[in-house]
Amino acid sequence: MKKIYGECTINNFSIEYSIVGAGEPVLVFHGGHSNCHEDFGYKALLENGFSIITPSRAGYGKTSKGIGDTLSTACDYYAKLLQHLNIEKTHVLAISAGGPTGLIFAKKFPHLTRSLTLQSAVTKEWLTSKDCTYRVASLLFNPKTEKYTWGLISTMSNHFPYFIFKQMFSSFSTLKYKDAKDKVNDNDITLIAQMNNRQRSGHGFLIDLSHTKELTIKDLKSINCPTLIMHSHFDSSVPTEHAKLAHDNILHSKLCLLDSWGHLIWLGNLSKDTDDIVINFLKDSN
């Protein structure tokens, strides 16, 4: 099924987006280093009659960084995008570093939000200047260097996909690679290489790190729509405490802790379980 790409201008700011499928809309807030070209988890949604709208979030792709001055402001612009597309109500699916956007959107626009699904999602402050990972990320993925970082990763992935998969594995999973082999699907290596070819950080990743500081427990408690929280037991990118915090504070939430091999819950031998849980939840929320 072919994706349609578009770009709209609101208050002199650009928002890039893609649309694929026809049916009940799902608004996807992609994870870090991603954009409207994302496609993890999309196949099952399309096969079950959903359409998917994916804006490149603030600072990613061709979307202006200026819409991301605050998390709340960014969500205002995503709501205006729905208005531009004549979408009155949608399911919201927020992935990884897109978690804060999904949470604030659901809180601020309950009349637009049919349900909220959090997948491997950040739900509180994540990576601070005290963390070594933060300092490394700020160096490798800032707007001046990220093009070269991803160019190198992409080239290496294309030439040595198995080697790069193994090197990146610990950034996604708390399991040692040798202990996770029964959970890894042969196709995962190819899908990781494809992911590395579409990844870019732009200004977006540093905006993401700033936005997580704005989330509060009060925000979580203000969400009233049906909410599904999905997280792997073995996620090393976003610890499971993020999922548990959301579940403890979002009233109508269901927590599903998965045995998938790590952060990328759409991969591995248990990926069908991920798909089935999401589809059943969305159908029940209609």
Residues annotated as part of the active site: 96
Instruction: Give whole-number Cα distances, 252 to 121, 185, 219, in Å.
Output: 17, 34, 14
Helix or strand run (H / E) with residue 258: strand 253-258
Q: CB-based burial of residue 66 (10 Å sphere; 0-12 exposed, 13-18 middle, 19+ buried)? A: middle
Picking from 275, 236, 234, 223, the residue whose alpha carbon sits closest to that of residue 257 is 234
Rounded CA separation 32/37 (Å): 13
Residues 169/177, Cβ–Cβ less than 8 Å = yes
By three-state DSSP, how is residue 118 classified? strand
Q: Kindly give the residue spans of alpha helices, DSSP state H, lying in 145-270.
A: 146-159, 161-172, 188-198, 204-211, 217-221, 241-249
Cβ atoms within 10 A of the Cβ of 177, count?
Answer: 14
* Cβ–Cβ < 8 Å for 99, 266: no
- Edge-to-edge strands, sheet with 24-29: 4-10, 13-20, 50-55, 24-29, 90-95, 113-119, 227-232, 253-258
Q: Are 219 and 107 in contact (CB under 8 A)?
A: yes
